[in-house]
Amino acid sequence: MSQRKPLTPGPDGIVRLAGGNPQIPKGYGDAVVQTYIDAMPGWQSAVGRRLDAIIEKTVPGVEKAVKWNSPFYGTEKDHWFMSYHCMTRYLKVSFFKGAHLDPPPPGTSKQPDVRYLDIYEEDEIDEARFADWVRQASRLPGEKM
């Protein structure tokens, strides 16, 4: 049986998983999500900050958590409508009931309800479209996780 090599913190003290995703302990609330956003690599941190601001503006009182090294957003504790995750060259935004959004986000999944939006460094974010997806997603039943 092979043994995993322990992950070591980078110069900033943050342990990053494959693709640069920060390893942040599970927790609830804005503070833990801001810790995750601060630890996102390079340009992804600024995008994470923009997405977080749009989500907060669109869904006042949104619930936040970090689970499985990703920030989650919901309308009640442990019922989530979206998340995002750092990949090597892009940020993967997951809408858990994205197939029910009009129009649905472009990325498909093996899970029939899930849709993705991949954001690359050079992409312009259509904030109005993103806010509309967030608004729609927040009104659907959340995934219990």
Domain-located, residue 13: no
Domain-located, residue 45: yes
Question: Which residue range is the domain that position 129 belongs to?
Answer: 18-144
Domain-located, residue 6: no
State the amino acid at position 101 in one-letter form.
Answer: L
Least confident of 13-22, 39-48, 97-106: 13-22
Query: pLDDT at residue 39 above 70?
Result: yes
Domain-located, residue 4: no
Domain-located, residue 50: yes
DSSP code string of 35-73: HHHHHS-THHHHHHHHHHHHHHHHSTT-EEEEETTEEEE
Average pLDDT, the chain: 89
Domain-located, residue 11: no
Confidence of residue 45 (pLDDT cuts 50, 70, 90): very high
The structural domain count of the chain equals 1
Domain-located, residue 72: yes
Domain-located, residue 3: no
Token pair listed for 33: 């999500």
CATH number at residue 126: 3.90.1150.200
User: What's the Cα-to-Cα distance from 100 to each of 69, 115, 138, 140, 142, rounded to whole Å?
Assistant: 26, 9, 12, 9, 12
Cα radius of gyration (the chain): 15
- What is the pTM for the complete model shown? 0.88
